[in-house]
Amino acid sequence: MRILLIEDNTRTRQFLLRGLMESGHIVDAVDDGATGLVYAREPIYDVIVSDRMLPGIDGIALVRALRAEGIETPLLMLSAAGGLHERVDGIRAGCDDYLAKPYSFAELLARIEGLARRANGTRSGDTLTCADLAIDTTSRNVTRAHRAIRLQHREFLLLECLMRHQGQVVTRTMLLDAAWDYDFEPRGNIVDMHVHRLRGKVDRDFDKPLIHTIVGAGYMVSDEAP
């Protein structure tokens, strides 16, 4: 899962960033509302986690701006103001969930995962398939011809991106966005190396390849040769 974290308190931001990354998620973290709004407009996030009190544009103004632009990325608001009035204001502004401080990290993580599951179910279901290949985006189980395939974290993110664009060319930039942090500086052919390993696991021992190289453009998942 790719998460945008908007939190101006350095200690809190670092704590949440570390916990979310250790839980296996890709996280982009920013410290003000204006920068958060710029990031949030990118269609690459599964969930946005935002503090309510932010410098510049506060969390309520941020979520209102996103919803006015038609951006429906699930958003969890964090706030020390946890009274009924504040929670109602947050939900009416467009927040999908509202968590008052202090909170446990376990509850925060559970709410994030719940938002992502609901959004997945609304968009395209939890299971993506191509021919005899299937991936469960919730459990992260991958099978081909009912045989389990073990993928590393980034390999799964790359495959999920390819599967969500089945039959379409996926550029290396799109794959970088899907599996690495926003400020990651790619070196060499890191995407090609990971896709090579992914292809070895998904297509090896099967007669029909599903991951195809589109020369000069990127990659594609398809049950037919492009």
| Spans of all domains in the chain | 2-123, 127-221
Q: Are 41 and 4 in contact (CB under 8 A)?
A: no
Q: Are 142 and 130 in contact (CB under 8 A)?
A: no
Instruction: List pLDDT tens digits, range 141-181.
Output: 999 999 999 998 889 989 998 998 899 999 988 888 788 76
Instruction: List pLDDT tens digits, range 14-42.
Output: 999 999 988 888 899 999 999 999 999 98
The Cα–Cα gap between 27 and 25 comes to 6
Instruction: Classify 20 as helix, strand or coil.
Output: helix
DSSP run (H or E) holding 80? none
State the pTM of this model.
Answer: 0.63
CATH of domain 2-123: 3.40.50.2300
Query: How would residue 82 be classed by pLDDT, with cut points 50, 70 and 90?
Result: low
The Cα–Cα gap between 53 and 118 comes to 26
Q: Are 202 and 211 in contact (CB under 8 A)?
A: yes
CATH of domain 127-221: 1.10.10.10
Tell me what pLDDT residue 124 has. 47
The Cα–Cα gap between 120 and 49 comes to 17
The CA-to-CA distance between both ends of the chain, in Å, stands at 29
Q: Which of 214, 202, 203, 209 is nearest to 224 (CA)?
A: 209
